Amino acid sequence: MSLPDHLRLATRPGAHADNIVHAGPARITVLTPALIRLEYSPDGAFEDRASQVALFRDTEPAAFDVRRTARPDGREALVLDTAALRLTYDGGPFATHGLSVQVKGGVSNYHSTWGYGQPPEGNLGGTARTLDMVDGECALEPGILSRYGVAVLDDSASLLLTDDGWVAAREPGRVDVYVFAHGRDYAGALRDFYALTGPTPVLPRFALGNWWSRFHRYSADEYEGLMDAFAAQRLPFSVAVVDMDWHRVDIDPALGSGWTGFSWNRELFPDPRAFLRHLRERGLRTTLNIHPADGIRAHEDRYTAAALALGRDPSTGEPIAFDAADPDFLHAYLQAVLHPMEAEGVDFWWLDWQQGPFSALPGLDPLWMLNHVHYLDSAREGARVGRPMTFSRYAGPGSHRYPIGFSGDTVVSWASLAFQPRFTATASNIGYGWWSHDIGGHLFGVKDDELATRWVQLGVFSPILRLHSTSDAFNSKEPWRFGREAARVMGDYLRLRHRLVPYLHTMNRRAHTHGQPLVRPIYHEHPWADGAYEVPNQFAFGTQLLVAPITAPTDLELGMAAVDVWLPEGRWYDLPTGLSYAAARGGRRIRMHRTLDDLPLLARRGTILPLAGASDDEAVSVENPTHLQVLVVAGTPEGGVGEFDLLEDRDDDAWVRTPLRFDGRSLVIGPCEAERSAESEVDSEGEPVDPFAAIPAVREWEVVVLGAANVTGASVAVGGRMRRGHVRPAGRDGVAVSVGPVEPGQRALVTLDGDMNPAGNDVPGRVFDLLDQAQIAFEDKRRAHAALTRPDDPRSGLLELGALNLPEPIRAALTEIVLAQ
C-alpha cells in the first residue's frame, strides 16, 4: 500500500545517537534538556519511524549526565540529569514506583514530580475534537503545559508513518511517551513541541478575512445576490462557504441518505463553473461542504471515473464504499472526484466527518487520515489555494499541521459564547492555533441581538471569523436581520476584521516561525503571576494586543456589560474607549464595563498596530493594501523603543518586511527589506525577479497617535526630504498625520511636536456620561456626580458611594473610571 509522492510527509524521525540511553528494556532519548522520549519494549526492539504525532527527532546532541547503579535484584538502576529535569528508573517495566521525572527550577518539589502511569498535576488543558451540541463548557483533552512544570504526551497508540507514505500499527506491549519538563517556560515547551511535530503552516492570506456560511438551500442567483447585498452595505467578505445543499440531497433512499454527495444540484446551480467564477470576480474564495462517509455511489457524476480508477466495472453500479484504510480509494477519491471540481473553481473543501474514530485499520481514525491527505493534496502542484489548507475537525495532537479547525455545531446561548474564548486560547497549549467557530452559534437558542453582536466582536478577535447558522428561516447572521444598533456595530466590527489583516498575516507568519499562536492565554506571557490564571477568557491577540471579550448580557440600569480583566504591570490604553489604566508590579485585576459598541482591547504605551485602508468605515479587501494606517499608542515604550515588523507576501513566500519603530515622539517607517533578492532569482524568461513584488510600488501611509495630550504639529521626512505634516484630530484623544506616498526603498520619518505625555482620563466627563445614561433616579445621579467631581481628589468621593442608593454595577463602573489610572 502506498500513496502518491505529494501525499507523503517529509520526516526526520531518527534521533542522534549521542542523545540515546539504553537501560534494559527501556530506551531514553534526550531530545532537549526539557523534552525526553521514554520507550519500553519487552523484546528490546525500539521504533525509529515517524508517528502520526512525532515527525522530527533529529535534535542536536543534548547535555546530560547518567549514573548507573546496581540494584539488589540484579537489575540496573539509572539516574539521568539535564539542566531541566532529573529522571530515575529502576530498570524494570514502567511503573509509578520505578520511573519518575522531577522538574528542576523551583516550581514545587512535591507536585512537580511525575511517576509513570499517574496523570501529571496542574495540566492547563488542551482542546477537544468538537463543540457539536455543546451548550456551555465541555471537557478538554490535556495539553503539554502544566502549572507544576511537567506534562506527558503518550504517543503509544498512534500509528507509524511508513516510507511509502502509508501508516502501520505498532507492536503490542510497547510504550512510547514524551515528557515535557519545562517548568513554566511555556514558550519553550511549545517550541520543543513544534520541533518534534512540525510547525504550524502559514495560512493563505484570504483565510484571515470574513467568511460567510449558512446551512441554507441557496441557488446560484440567491448566493450571488447576497454577496452583492453585502458589498452594497460595505460588509467585506473573503471566503464564500456553500453548505451541503450545493449537491443533490433528494436521492433514492436505496442509494443512501443524501448527506454524502459530490454532484452539483443543477436545479440550483445550473452552471457551477460560472457561479464559482463570479464569486472569484467578487474577490471571494469558495469552499464546499462535503460529508464523505457514504462513499461514491452510482448516481454521482464522477462515479464512472472513480470506479475505473479503482479497476472496477462501473456498469455494475456497485457503491464504492468510503474506506480511509485503503490508499487506492483515497487516491481515487481525490483525483477522480475532487480534482475535476477544483478545476471548475472550488478552492478548498469543508470536510465534515462525524462518524467516529474507527476504520478497517485498527487505530486509524478516518478523520485524521482525511485531514492528512486533504491538506497534503491541497499543496500539490496546480492546486488552487496558493498555500495548502483544509477545513475540518480536530483529530488529536499534531492536528495543527492541518489547519483550519472546524469546531462544530454550537448551541446559540450565552453559556456557549462564554466558553469559546477559553476554548480557543487553551487550544494553543497543544499547539492548535487556527480554530474556526460558528460565530453567533449554530442551532437552538433564541434570537438575541446583544448575544449575536458580542459573538461577532469575539469573532473579530478569533483566529478565523466565520458567520454561520443552521437550516432555519429565522436563524441567519446577515447584520441587517438584527436591530439597527446591533447591525451598525456588527458592520463596524466586520470592517475592522479586514482592516486588521496586515497585522493578522504578520502573526500568521510568526505562528509558523516563532511557534506562537495568534490567540494565547495570558499566562503564556506571565507564567508566575497568579492573576494571569484567573481570567481564562482573556487572551493575547498577537504580540500587540490583549483582548477581554464581553460574554455576559448588559445590566439594564447601567446600560453596560462587564468583564473581569487582569492587567500585567505597566500602562495600558483601551483602543475603543480611550481609557487609560495603570497596573503596578504583580499586575492588577479590574472589572471593566463597556457599552454594546466596545469590548476591552488593550495595548501598552508605544504599541504599533498596522491597519489596512484610510478609514474606519472603509470596506477593504484582504489583499496587500495600497494605503496603510499605523496606530501608535502615545507614551514612551517599555525598553525605550516600540517595534513592529510588518510581514507581507502573496502566498508565495516572497516575503517583504517593513520595520516600524516608535520612541515616544518619532515613528520610523521602512525602508522595506526583501527576503529574496533580484540577483538570486529570475523569472521564466530569465529576467530578475522584483524582490518587492508583494507590495505596492508606492504606498500611502498615515500615522494615528492615540492618547496624546497636546500634539501641536509634526514634521515628515520621506527619502530624506523634509516637510511639515498635516495634522488632524482623530477619535476622542488622538491625532492623525498624513505621511503621503512612500516607495519600498525609502525611509519615512514622522516626528511629533508638543507634549507627548499620554493624556489622562477625563474623569469628570466620563463620570457624567456614565451617570447620564444610567437608568436610575435623578437624585442619585446628582449626589454621585457631586461626590466624584470634587476638584481636590475624586477618589475620596468613592467612600460616599457606599452611602448612596446605587445599584452595584453602577458603583463598580464609576469606581473603574475613577481608579483606572
Say if 458 falls within a structural domain: no
pLDDT band at 221 (very low <50, low <70, confident <90, very high): very high
Q: Give percent of the chain with pLDDT exceeding 90.
A: 87
pLDDT for 276 equals 98
Q: How confident is the model at residue 805 (pLDDT cuts 50, 70, 90)?
A: confident
Is the pTM of the predicted complex or chain greater than 0.85? yes
Please tell me whether residues 710 and 804 are part of one structural domain: no
Interval 766-786: pLDDT, tens: 999 999 999 999 999 999 999
802 & 676 share domain: no
Q: What is the pLDDT of residues 741-750, one digit of tens each?
A: 999 999 999 9
In the predicted model, is pLDDT for residue 68 greater than 60?
A: yes
- Sole residue written with cell 519487552: 42
Strand extents, DSSP E, 146-305: 151-154, 160-161, 167-168, 175-180, 210-212, 239-242, 285-290
User: Which pLDDT score, from 0 to 100, does residue 637 have?
Assistant: 87
pLDDT digits (tens, 9 = 90+) for 338-386: 999 999 999 999 999 989 999 999 999 999 999 999 999 999 988 888 8
Please name the residue that has the C-alpha cell 530515575.
Answer: 88
Q: Give the CATH number of the domain where residue 636 resides.
A: 2.60.40.1180
C-alpha cell at 133: 451540541
- The answer on pLDDT for 677 being more than 70 is no
Do 810 and 716 share a structural domain? no
In a domain, 494, yes or no: no
Residue 75 pLDDT more than 60?
yes
Does 484 fall in a domain? no
CA-to-CA dists, residue 46 to 27, 49, 153, angstroms:
8, 9, 18
540: helix, strand or coil:
strand
**Lookup result for grid cell 516572497:** 654
Residue 432, in any domain of the structure: no
* 660 and 769 belong to one structural domain: no
Domains contained in the chain, number: 3
Cell numbers describing residue 680: 538570486
**Is residue 329 a contact partner of residue 323, using CB atoms and an 8 Å limit?**
yes
One domain, residues 111 and 27: yes
Distance CA 429, CA 127 (A): 8
Specify whether 638 is located in the same domain as 626: yes
* Angle at alpha carbon of residue 432, lines to 427 and 436, rounded to 5°: 85
Does residue 35 belong to any structural domain of this protein? yes
Give pLDDT, residue 760.
87
Q: How sure is the predictor about 662, in pLDDT bands with cuts at 50, 70 and 90?
A: very high
Does residue 53 lie within any of the structural domains? yes
Decide if pLDDT at 680 tops 60. Answer: no
Task: Give me the numbers of helices (H) and strands (E) for the chain, helices first please.
Answer: 15, 39
Q: How far is CA 46 from the centre of its chain?
A: 36
Q: Which helix (H) or strand (E) holds 700?
A: strand 699-706
**Are 70 and 191 in the same domain?**
yes
Q: Beta strand 545-547 with 601-604: parallel, antiparallel or unpaired? A: antiparallel
238 in Cβ contact with 209 (< 8 Å): yes
Q: What is the pLDDT of residue 106?
A: 66
Q: Give the model's confidence band at 111: pLDDT under 50 very low, under 70 low, under 90 confident, else very high.
A: confident
pLDDT band for 121, please (50, 70, 90 cuts). Answer: very high
| CATH (domain of 148) | 2.60.40
Same-domain status, 798 and 729: no
Residues 68 and 153 in one domain: yes
- On whether residue 443 sits in a domain, the answer given is no
Does residue 392 contact residue 374 with C-beta atoms inside 8 Å? yes
Which pLDDT does position 689 carry in this prediction? 79
Q: Are strands 570-574 and 348-351 parallel, antiparallel or unpaired?
A: unpaired
Instruction: Measure the CA–CA gap between 44 and 30, rounded to whole angstroms.
Output: 19
Cell numbers describing residue 509 = 507568519
Of 152, 181, 197, which residue is a domain's last? 197
- Return mean pLDDT, the chain: 95
Distance, in Å, from the CA atom of 341 to the CA atom of 348, rounded to the nearest integer, reads 10
Distance CA 21, CA 796 (A): 67
For residue 683, name the pLDDT band (cuts at 50, 70, 90).
low
**Residues 754 and 739 placed together within one structural domain of the fold:** yes
What per-residue confidence (pLDDT) applies to 682? 67
Lowest pLDDT segment from 112-121, 219-228, 542-551: 112-121
Q: Say what the pLDDT of residue 670 is.
A: 95
| Cβ atoms of 468 and 440 closer than 8 Å | yes
Does 814 lie in the same domain as 723? no
Provide the pLDDT for residue 769.
97
Q: How confident is the model at residue 486 (pLDDT cuts 50, 70, 90)?
A: very high
With 80 as the cut, is the pLDDT of residue 107 above it? no
Instruction: Give the tens place of pLDDT for each residue, 123-166.
Output: 999 999 999 999 999 999 999 999 999 999 999 999 999 999 99
The answer on 807 and 700 residing in a single domain is: no
- Which of 68-72, 395-399, 647-651 has the lowest average pLDDT? 68-72
Range of the domain at 797: 761-821
Residue 650 to residues 119, 623, 659, 818: CA-CA distances in angstroms? 45, 8, 18, 47
Spatial distance between the Cα atoms of 374 and 347, rounded to a whole number of angstroms: 12
Which triple of cell numbers denotes residue 536? 481564562
Total residue count of the chain as it appears in this document: 821
- With both helix axes pointing from N to C terminus, report the angle between 484-499 and 501-514 in degrees, rounded to the nearest 10: 50
Output the CA torsion sign for 313, 315, 316, 318. positive
Q: Are 38 and 94 in contact (CB under 8 A)?
A: yes
Residue 319: the pLDDT is 95
Task: List, for residues 460-474, the tens digit of each pLDDT value.
Answer: 999 999 999 999 999
Cell numbers of 668, please? 520610523
63-72, 265-274, 313-322, 521-530: least confident range:
63-72
What is the mean predicted confidence (pLDDT) over 637-656? 93
Q: What are phi and psi for residue 734, nearest 5 degrees?
A: -130, 170
pLDDT for 74:
73
pLDDT at 678 over 80: no
Q: What is the pLDDT of residue 676?
A: 76
Q: Does the structure show a pLDDT above 90 at 799?
A: no
- Rounded-to-integer distance, Cα 582 and Cα 604, Å: 10
pLDDT of residue 757: 84
Cα–Cα distance measured from residue 5 to residue 425, given in angstroms and rounded to the nearest whole number: 35
What's the pLDDT at 1? 52
The pLDDT value given to residue 540:
98
Helix %, strand %, coil % of the chain (to 5): 25, 25, 50
Domain final position from 162, 197, 232: 197
User: Residue 573's beta-bridge partner residues?
Assistant: 580, 603
Instruction: Give the integer Cα–Cα distance in Å for 466 and 267.
Output: 27
Residue 765 has pLDDT above 70, yes or no: yes
